[in-house]
Amino acid sequence: MKRGVVLLCGLLFLFGTVQAGGSWRPVAKGVARGDLAHVSLSGDAPAPTALRLAVDAEPRQLVDVSWRVACFTPDFDYATESRDFEATTPVERNLPVTIDNPEYCTVYASVFNDDGKLMVKVQHR
C-alpha cells in the first residue's frame, strides 16, 4: 500500500511539472551563412507565459545580439523592453513577458556573426 501511494504521488508531481511548464512553441526562426552573417526576425506569441531566445553558430564564435519585446493587453495597454549584448555561442536567454496577462507579445531579434552558419530562434509557452 505504501509503495502505491509513493508511486501515485510521484506520478502526480511529474504530471503537474509537465503541465505547469508546458512545451516551447516557435515564434520565429532564421538561418544565415557567410561572412558577416545577419539574421533579423520577428513574430507574435499569443498569450505567452514565457519567452526564450536561442542563438547558435558554426563554428562557435562571438555574436552581437539585439532583442526587443512588446506585450499588449486586450484593452491596448502595452509595455516594452530591449537589450543589446555580445556573447559566445551557444546563447540562450529568457526574455521578459513585459506586462501581466498579455493578449500577445511581439518579439524582434537581430543577430550578427563574423563567419560561418548562424541560427536564431524565438520560442514561447
Residue 14 lies in a domain: no
pLDDT, position 22: 85
pLDDT, position 11: 39
Alpha carbons 73 and 25: distance in angstroms, whole number: 20
Give the C-alpha distances (Å, rounded to integers) separating 60 from 35, 89, 92, 117. Answer: 14, 5, 14, 9
Residue 1 lies in a domain: no
Residue 11 lies in a domain: no
Residue 57 lies in a domain: yes
Residue 118 lies in a domain: yes
Residue 119 lies in a domain: yes
For the whole prediction, is pTM greater than 0.85?
no
49: left (phi > 0), else alpha (psi -120 to 50), else beta?
A: alpha
Q: What string of pLDDT tens digits covers the 125 residues of the chain?
A: 455 444 444 433 333 434 456 899 999 999 999 999 999 999 999 999 999 999 999 999 999 999 999 999 999 899 999 999 999 999 999 999 999 999 999 999 999 999 999 999 999 99
Query: Which amino acid makes up residue 51?
Result: L
Residue 76 lies in a domain: yes
pLDDT, position 20: 52
Alpha carbons 108 and 66: distance in angstroms, whole number: 8
Q: CATH number of the domain at 31, please.
A: 2.60.120
Q: How many domains does the chain have?
A: 1
Show the domain range for 54.
25-124
pLDDT, position 27: 98
Residue 30 lies in a domain: yes
